[in-house]
Amino acid sequence: MPALPQRPNALQGLLAFPVTPFREDGELDLPRFEEHLADMADAGPSALFVACGTGEFASLTPAEHRELVRVAVSGTGGRVPVYAGIGGGTRLAAEFAVAAEQSGADGALVLPPYLQVGPPAGLVAHYRQIAAATGLPLVPYQRSTAVFTPEAVAELAEIEQVVAFKDGHGDLELLQRVHTATGGALPLLNGMPTAETFARAYAAVGARAYSSATLAFAPRIARAFFDAFERGDDTVQRTLLREFYVPLTQLRLTTDGYAVALVKAGLAVQGRSAGPVRPPLADVTPEHRDRLAGLIERGHAALDAAAHA
Protein backbone atom coordinates (compact mmCIF):
# COMPACT_ATOMS: atom_id res chain seq x y z
CA MET A 1 0.00 0.00 0.00
CA PRO A 2 1.42 3.45 -0.87
CA ALA A 3 2.27 5.87 1.91
CA LEU A 4 -0.86 7.74 2.98
CA PRO A 5 -1.01 11.54 3.37
CA GLN A 6 -0.78 13.10 6.82
CA ARG A 7 -4.11 14.06 8.36
CA PRO A 8 -4.97 17.05 10.57
CA ASN A 9 -5.71 16.20 14.20
CA ALA A 10 -8.88 18.31 14.54
CA LEU A 11 -11.21 15.31 14.32
CA GLN A 12 -10.48 13.78 17.68
CA GLY A 13 -12.50 13.44 20.83
CA LEU A 14 -16.07 14.66 21.13
CA LEU A 15 -17.73 15.81 17.90
CA ALA A 16 -20.76 18.13 18.04
CA PHE A 17 -23.80 17.88 15.78
CA PRO A 18 -26.15 20.85 16.30
CA VAL A 19 -29.78 20.82 15.23
CA THR A 20 -31.22 23.28 12.75
CA PRO A 21 -33.77 25.47 14.57
CA PHE A 22 -37.02 26.29 12.78
CA ARG A 23 -39.74 28.73 13.69
CA GLU A 24 -43.30 27.46 14.12
CA ASP A 25 -43.99 28.46 10.52
CA GLY A 26 -41.21 26.12 9.41
CA GLU A 27 -38.68 28.79 8.40
CA LEU A 28 -35.09 28.95 9.63
CA ASP A 29 -34.56 30.53 13.04
CA LEU A 30 -31.03 31.89 12.64
CA PRO A 31 -30.88 33.84 15.95
CA ARG A 32 -31.77 30.64 17.81
CA PHE A 33 -29.18 28.77 15.74
CA GLU A 34 -26.49 31.19 16.90
CA GLU A 35 -27.49 30.64 20.53
CA HIS A 36 -27.50 26.88 20.06
CA LEU A 37 -24.05 26.93 18.50
CA ALA A 38 -22.68 29.02 21.37
CA ASP A 39 -24.11 26.55 23.90
CA MET A 40 -22.48 23.64 22.10
CA ALA A 41 -19.13 25.40 21.66
CA ASP A 42 -19.06 26.00 25.42
CA ALA A 43 -19.05 22.22 25.94
CA GLY A 44 -15.64 22.04 24.28
CA PRO A 45 -16.12 19.79 21.23
CA SER A 46 -13.23 19.32 18.84
CA ALA A 47 -15.41 20.20 15.82
CA LEU A 48 -18.93 21.33 14.95
CA PHE A 49 -20.80 19.53 12.17
CA VAL A 50 -23.63 21.74 10.92
CA ALA A 51 -26.46 20.87 8.54
CA CYS A 52 -25.73 17.16 8.80
CA GLY A 53 -28.14 14.37 9.72
CA THR A 54 -29.04 15.84 13.11
CA GLY A 55 -29.28 19.21 11.37
CA GLU A 56 -31.89 17.85 8.92
CA PHE A 57 -29.71 18.25 5.84
CA ALA A 58 -32.18 16.40 3.65
CA SER A 59 -34.90 18.97 4.45
CA LEU A 60 -32.83 22.06 3.65
CA THR A 61 -32.72 24.10 0.47
CA PRO A 62 -29.28 25.00 -0.94
CA ALA A 63 -29.86 28.64 0.11
CA GLU A 64 -30.71 27.60 3.68
CA HIS A 65 -27.67 25.33 3.81
CA ARG A 66 -25.42 28.18 2.74
CA GLU A 67 -26.89 30.48 5.41
CA LEU A 68 -26.43 27.92 8.17
CA VAL A 69 -22.79 27.37 7.27
CA ARG A 70 -22.17 31.11 7.03
CA VAL A 71 -23.73 31.76 10.44
CA ALA A 72 -21.83 28.86 12.02
CA VAL A 73 -18.48 30.07 10.70
CA SER A 74 -19.17 33.66 11.71
CA GLY A 75 -20.58 32.74 15.11
CA THR A 76 -17.75 30.46 16.17
CA GLY A 77 -15.09 32.92 15.03
CA GLY A 78 -12.50 30.23 14.47
CA ARG A 79 -12.74 28.85 18.01
CA VAL A 80 -13.73 25.42 16.72
CA PRO A 81 -13.58 23.93 13.20
CA VAL A 82 -16.89 23.93 11.31
CA TYR A 83 -17.69 20.99 9.05
CA ALA A 84 -20.73 21.18 6.77
CA GLY A 85 -22.94 18.29 5.78
CA ILE A 86 -23.07 17.73 2.02
CA GLY A 87 -24.83 15.04 0.04
CA GLY A 88 -27.11 13.97 -2.77
CA GLY A 89 -25.96 12.87 -6.20
CA THR A 90 -22.36 13.49 -7.16
CA ARG A 91 -22.82 16.82 -8.91
CA LEU A 92 -25.22 18.15 -6.30
CA ALA A 93 -22.89 17.11 -3.48
CA ALA A 94 -20.04 18.88 -5.26
CA GLU A 95 -22.16 22.04 -5.50
CA PHE A 96 -22.90 21.87 -1.76
CA ALA A 97 -19.18 21.43 -1.10
CA VAL A 98 -18.25 24.45 -3.19
CA ALA A 99 -20.90 26.57 -1.46
CA ALA A 100 -19.70 25.43 1.97
CA GLU A 101 -16.12 26.30 1.06
CA GLN A 102 -17.20 29.75 -0.13
CA SER A 103 -19.03 30.23 3.19
CA GLY A 104 -15.84 29.53 5.12
CA ALA A 105 -16.34 25.93 6.27
CA ASP A 106 -13.27 24.03 7.44
CA GLY A 107 -14.39 20.72 5.97
CA ALA A 108 -17.36 18.62 4.91
CA LEU A 109 -19.06 15.43 6.05
CA VAL A 110 -20.17 13.62 2.88
CA LEU A 111 -23.53 11.98 3.57
CA PRO A 112 -24.45 8.84 1.57
CA PRO A 113 -25.82 9.33 -1.95
CA TYR A 114 -29.61 9.23 -1.94
CA LEU A 115 -31.37 5.97 -2.91
CA GLN A 116 -28.91 4.74 -5.53
CA VAL A 117 -26.58 1.97 -4.40
CA GLY A 118 -23.43 1.65 -6.49
CA PRO A 119 -20.51 -0.80 -6.51
CA PRO A 120 -17.26 0.08 -4.70
CA ALA A 121 -15.77 1.61 -7.85
CA GLY A 122 -18.79 3.89 -8.20
CA LEU A 123 -18.54 5.05 -4.60
CA VAL A 124 -14.84 5.82 -4.99
CA ALA A 125 -15.58 7.77 -8.19
CA HIS A 126 -18.29 9.71 -6.33
CA TYR A 127 -15.83 10.91 -3.70
CA ARG A 128 -13.05 11.57 -6.20
CA GLN A 129 -15.32 13.91 -8.17
CA ILE A 130 -16.38 15.76 -5.01
CA ALA A 131 -12.73 16.12 -3.98
CA ALA A 132 -11.89 17.49 -7.43
CA ALA A 133 -14.52 20.22 -7.05
CA THR A 134 -13.38 21.62 -3.70
CA GLY A 135 -10.33 22.13 -1.54
CA LEU A 136 -12.20 21.21 1.64
CA PRO A 137 -11.13 18.28 3.81
CA LEU A 138 -13.71 15.52 3.37
CA VAL A 139 -15.09 12.84 5.69
CA PRO A 140 -16.94 9.98 3.95
CA TYR A 141 -19.83 8.61 6.02
CA GLN A 142 -20.46 4.87 5.84
CA ARG A 143 -24.11 3.90 6.34
CA SER A 144 -27.29 3.20 4.42
CA THR A 145 -26.53 3.45 0.68
CA ALA A 146 -22.78 3.91 1.15
CA VAL A 147 -21.17 0.77 2.58
CA PHE A 148 -17.58 0.33 1.45
CA THR A 149 -15.20 -2.57 0.98
CA PRO A 150 -11.90 -2.22 2.84
CA GLU A 151 -10.15 -1.94 -0.52
CA ALA A 152 -12.39 0.98 -1.52
CA VAL A 153 -11.60 2.79 1.73
CA ALA A 154 -7.90 2.23 1.11
CA GLU A 155 -8.35 3.94 -2.28
CA LEU A 156 -10.15 6.85 -0.63
CA ALA A 157 -7.37 7.10 1.96
CA GLU A 158 -4.93 7.90 -0.84
CA ILE A 159 -6.88 11.12 -1.53
CA GLU A 160 -5.20 13.87 0.47
CA GLN A 161 -8.50 15.65 1.18
CA VAL A 162 -10.06 12.57 2.80
CA VAL A 163 -9.13 13.22 6.41
CA ALA A 164 -11.26 10.65 8.30
CA PHE A 165 -13.83 7.90 7.81
CA LYS A 166 -17.07 8.01 9.78
CA ASP A 167 -18.97 4.80 10.37
CA GLY A 168 -22.68 4.54 11.12
CA HIS A 169 -23.10 1.04 9.67
CA GLY A 170 -22.18 -0.85 12.82
CA ASP A 171 -20.30 -3.82 11.35
CA LEU A 172 -17.25 -3.99 13.60
CA GLU A 173 -15.66 -6.84 11.67
CA LEU A 174 -15.81 -4.73 8.51
CA LEU A 175 -14.42 -1.74 10.37
CA GLN A 176 -11.51 -3.82 11.65
CA ARG A 177 -10.79 -4.86 8.07
CA VAL A 178 -10.92 -1.18 7.02
CA HIS A 179 -8.51 -0.31 9.82
CA THR A 180 -6.15 -3.05 8.65
CA ALA A 181 -6.45 -2.12 4.97
CA THR A 182 -5.49 1.49 5.68
CA GLY A 183 -2.75 0.57 8.13
CA GLY A 184 -4.50 2.61 10.79
CA ALA A 185 -3.44 5.80 8.96
CA LEU A 186 -7.00 7.02 8.27
CA PRO A 187 -8.76 8.20 11.45
CA LEU A 188 -11.99 6.31 12.14
CA LEU A 189 -14.98 8.04 13.71
CA ASN A 190 -17.82 6.37 15.59
CA GLY A 191 -20.97 7.76 13.97
CA MET A 192 -23.55 5.35 15.32
CA PRO A 193 -26.88 6.64 16.67
CA THR A 194 -26.45 7.16 20.43
CA ALA A 195 -22.74 6.67 19.81
CA GLU A 196 -21.91 6.49 23.52
CA THR A 197 -23.42 3.00 23.69
CA PHE A 198 -20.85 1.88 21.10
CA ALA A 199 -17.88 3.88 22.41
CA ARG A 200 -15.91 1.09 24.03
CA ALA A 201 -16.54 -1.36 21.20
CA TYR A 202 -15.43 1.15 18.56
CA ALA A 203 -12.36 2.09 20.56
CA ALA A 204 -11.19 -1.50 20.17
CA VAL A 205 -10.86 -0.97 16.41
CA GLY A 206 -9.18 2.41 16.75
CA ALA A 207 -12.23 4.70 16.61
CA ARG A 208 -12.12 6.70 19.81
CA ALA A 209 -13.66 9.93 18.47
CA TYR A 210 -17.43 9.92 18.20
CA SER A 211 -20.39 12.09 17.29
CA SER A 212 -22.64 12.85 20.25
CA ALA A 213 -26.26 13.84 19.64
CA THR A 214 -26.62 14.13 23.41
CA LEU A 215 -24.15 17.01 23.40
CA ALA A 216 -26.81 19.07 21.61
CA PHE A 217 -29.38 18.85 24.41
CA ALA A 218 -27.65 17.45 27.53
CA PRO A 219 -24.05 18.69 27.30
CA ARG A 220 -23.24 18.01 30.95
CA ILE A 221 -24.12 14.33 30.54
CA ALA A 222 -22.31 14.04 27.22
CA ARG A 223 -19.17 15.68 28.52
CA ALA A 224 -19.15 13.60 31.71
CA PHE A 225 -19.45 10.36 29.76
CA PHE A 226 -16.72 11.31 27.30
CA ASP A 227 -14.35 12.39 30.08
CA ALA A 228 -14.98 9.09 31.89
CA PHE A 229 -14.39 7.22 28.62
CA GLU A 230 -11.09 9.03 28.09
CA ARG A 231 -9.78 8.34 31.58
CA GLY A 232 -11.05 4.75 31.64
CA ASP A 233 -13.58 5.29 34.44
CA ASP A 234 -15.82 2.26 33.95
CA THR A 235 -17.99 3.08 36.96
CA VAL A 236 -19.22 6.42 35.58
CA GLN A 237 -19.66 4.96 32.09
CA ARG A 238 -21.70 2.01 33.38
CA THR A 239 -23.85 4.31 35.51
CA LEU A 240 -24.66 6.69 32.66
CA LEU A 241 -25.30 3.82 30.28
CA ARG A 242 -27.75 2.28 32.74
CA GLU A 243 -29.51 5.45 33.84
CA PHE A 244 -29.52 7.42 30.60
CA TYR A 245 -28.00 6.12 27.38
CA VAL A 246 -29.48 2.63 27.10
CA PRO A 247 -33.02 3.82 28.01
CA LEU A 248 -32.53 6.68 25.52
CA THR A 249 -31.64 4.15 22.83
CA GLN A 250 -34.76 2.14 23.65
CA LEU A 251 -36.87 5.27 23.32
CA ARG A 252 -35.18 6.23 20.05
CA LEU A 253 -35.96 2.82 18.57
CA THR A 254 -39.71 3.19 19.17
CA THR A 255 -40.21 5.57 16.24
CA ASP A 256 -38.48 6.24 12.93
CA GLY A 257 -36.88 9.68 12.90
CA TYR A 258 -36.44 9.94 16.65
CA ALA A 259 -32.65 10.15 16.25
CA VAL A 260 -33.34 13.79 15.35
CA ALA A 261 -36.75 14.50 16.89
CA LEU A 262 -35.63 13.44 20.38
CA VAL A 263 -32.75 15.90 20.25
CA LYS A 264 -35.11 18.77 19.54
CA ALA A 265 -37.51 17.51 22.22
CA GLY A 266 -34.63 17.38 24.70
CA LEU A 267 -33.90 21.03 24.04
CA ALA A 268 -37.58 21.95 24.40
CA VAL A 269 -38.11 20.23 27.76
CA GLN A 270 -35.25 22.29 29.15
CA GLY A 271 -36.62 25.59 27.90
CA ARG A 272 -34.26 25.91 24.94
CA SER A 273 -36.59 24.99 22.09
CA ALA A 274 -35.26 24.75 18.54
CA GLY A 275 -38.75 24.48 17.10
CA PRO A 276 -40.30 21.57 15.23
CA VAL A 277 -38.72 19.08 12.89
CA ARG A 278 -39.58 19.24 9.21
CA PRO A 279 -41.48 16.50 7.36
CA PRO A 280 -41.02 13.66 6.73
CA LEU A 281 -39.84 13.62 10.35
CA ALA A 282 -42.46 14.07 13.05
CA ASP A 283 -42.23 15.67 16.48
CA VAL A 284 -42.03 13.51 19.58
CA THR A 285 -45.35 12.48 21.13
CA PRO A 286 -46.31 13.97 24.53
CA GLU A 287 -45.85 10.56 26.18
CA HIS A 288 -42.37 10.13 24.75
CA ARG A 289 -41.46 13.71 25.58
CA ASP A 290 -42.32 13.02 29.22
CA ARG A 291 -40.21 9.87 29.16
CA LEU A 292 -37.31 11.84 27.71
CA ALA A 293 -37.64 14.52 30.39
CA GLY A 294 -37.45 11.80 33.02
CA LEU A 295 -34.32 10.33 31.44
CA ILE A 296 -32.59 13.71 31.41
CA GLU A 297 -33.43 14.10 35.10
CA ARG A 298 -32.09 10.61 35.81
CA GLY A 299 -28.87 11.34 33.96
CA HIS A 300 -28.24 14.54 35.85
CA ALA A 301 -29.17 12.89 39.16
CA ALA A 302 -26.64 10.13 38.47
CA LEU A 303 -23.94 12.73 37.89
CA ASP A 304 -24.84 14.54 41.11
CA ALA A 305 -24.74 11.30 43.07
CA ALA A 306 -21.35 10.41 41.60
CA ALA A 307 -20.01 13.87 42.47
CA HIS A 308 -21.00 13.38 46.14
CA ALA A 309 -19.95 9.74 46.42
Distances (CA, A) of 69 to 61, 247, 304: 12, 33, 36
Given the residues 166, 210, 245, 258, select the one marked as catalytic.
Answer: 166
Given the residues 83, 114, 127, 141, select the one marked as catalytic.
Answer: 141
Question: For the domain with range 14-227, which CATH number is right: 1.10.150.120, 3.40.640.10, 3.20.20.70, 3.40.960.10?
Answer: 3.20.20.70
Our answer to whether residue 210 is catalytic in this structure is no
One-letter amino acid of 11 = L
Q: Are strands 14-16 and 47-50 parallel, antiparallel or unpaired?
A: parallel
> Which tens digits make up the pLDDT trace of 72-107?
999 998 899 999 999 999 999 999 999 999 999 999
Our answer to whether residue 245 is catalytic in this structure is no
pTM of the model: 0.95
SS3 at position 189: strand
Structural domain spans, the chain: 14-227
Q: What is the pLDDT of residue 262?
A: 98
Q: In what helix (H) or strand (E) does residue 85 lie, and over which residues does it extend?
A: strand 82-86
Res. 46: pLDDT tops 70:
yes
Cα atoms in the Cβ-side hemisphere of radius 13 Å centred on 199: 27
> Which tens digits make up the pLDDT trace of 127-149?
999 999 999 999 999 998 899 99
